[in-house]
Amino acid sequence: MNNKFVNEYILPYESLIGGYTIPENICDEVVNFYKNSNDKKPGEQYVDGDITVNKDFKESTEVNVSIHQTSELKNYFNILGVCLDRYLKKYYYSNEVESFSIVENVNIQYYPKNGGFKKWHFENAGNPKSIFRHLVFMTYLNDVNDGGTEFLYQGLKTPAKKGLTVIWPATWTHTHKGEISKTKEKYIITGWYSFERHNNE
């Protein structure tokens, strides 16, 4: 996917959050994939060593996708790679680490009105499920004026703007939660770049 299809969305440099806009038609491809999928399930969380569904914590319906099995989403993953390249050039030392890639399944998530990821959390809490996560990515697949993402320590809210793709470190420094929309449903696709060697041991 050519660089010309990705534009930078300006966020404070010191936030360590990269923002990039991708074409809206690619977002539509992901949403259509979700809507046509027969593999939808309630959103799960890893809490105190257990996988659980708790709508007070997170209310969503999701489709889990392997990057290696889903040719229908190749346009999205190709352009996501462009976004990652931009991030690694901007934050050079994020790439001065062992090799990493998308190892876990990616989640396409649907949040109903008043749904969302309601509690503060971060993506690498040191548990067996998350310990190898390095960077997080998320793309908003539709416009939701009151449905962005709030980052606690950065004092920053990224807007749910269709096509906006954000990348950030997976650790506690980027504790975040969803802004719960009372007016609109929200679609996102999200996942993690994880260290490869340890995942394969």
Could you read off the pLDDT of 81-131 as tens digits, one per residue? 999 999 999 999 999 999 999 999 999 999 999 998 989 999 999 988 899
- Stretch 177-195: mean pLDDT, rounded? 96
Query: Is the predicted pLDDT of residue 1 greater than 60, yes or no?
Result: no
The per-residue pLDDT for 199 is 64
The per-residue pLDDT for 134 is 98
Domain count, the chain: 1
CATH of the domain at 191: 2.60.120.620
Q: Label residues 86-122 b or e (16+ Cβ within 10 Å = b).
A: bbbeebeebeeeeebebbbbbbbbbbeeebbbbeebb
pLDDT higher at 58 or 110 = 110
The per-residue pLDDT for 68 is 81
Query: Is the predicted pLDDT of residue 201 greater than 60, yes or no?
Result: no
pLDDT higher at 48 or 170 = 170
- Residue 191's Cβ-side half-sphere holds a number of Cα atoms within 13 Å equal to 23
| Tens-place pLDDT, residues 147-184 | 999 999 999 999 999 999 999 999 999 999 999 999 99
Instruction: Identify residue 131 by its one-letter amino acid code.
Output: I
Domain that holds residue 72: 3-199
The per-residue pLDDT for 197 is 73
Could you give the strand order of the β-sheet that contains 144-151, starting from the edge strand earlier in sequence?
Answer: 156-160, 144-151, 176-178
Match 């050519």 to its residue by tokens: 2
Strand pairing category for 106-111 and 61-65: antiparallel
Distance CA 191, CA 129 (A): 13
Distance CA 97, CA 102 (A): 15
pTM assigned to the model: 0.93
Query: Is the predicted pLDDT of residue 49 greater than 70, yes or no?
Result: no
| Tens-place pLDDT, residues 4-43 | 789 999 999 999 999 999 999 999 999 999 999 999 998 8
